[in-house]
Amino acid sequence: MLPRKFRLNDPIAFRMCRRTGKKHETSVMTVFFQTNNIHVLRLGVVVSKKFSLKATDRNRARRLCHAAALPLKDCGLDVIIIPKKELLRVSSQKIQEELRAILT
């Protein structure tokens, strides 16, 4: 589980990141991001039932996104990740590389 200080829980900050942040799409995920004032990565992962009807698949996608973003914890960004179905078919290292390429 992602530590509390790295979660994007505030609905206002979440909405602002989604509306005014930069958007980048890859083959496995859509990423919204913007800078924050606390100099710590805050992450939100949105996985709907449209992704998969199985909760185990949705939870696995969340865990993969959390694991990929955790090494970037000092970047000072608010990040929202919306995974695509192809995320479950690629390696966790590829997910981490794509996320690093987008955010740095």
Query: Can you give the residue ranges of every domain in the chain?
Result: 4-103
Q: Look up the pTM and report it.
A: 0.92
The token pair at 34 is: 């913007």
Q: Which pLDDT band holds residue 34 (cuts at 50, 70, 90)?
A: very high
Are the beta carbons of 41 and 5 closer than 8 angstroms?
no
- What are the pLDDT digits (tens) for 47-102? 999 999 999 999 999 999 999 999 988 888 999 999 999 999 999 999 999 999 99
Domain 4-103 sits in CATH 3.90.1150.10: no
Q: Which pLDDT band holds residue 12 (cuts at 50, 70, 90)?
A: very high
Cβ-based neighbours of 55, under 8 Å, separated by 6 or more: none
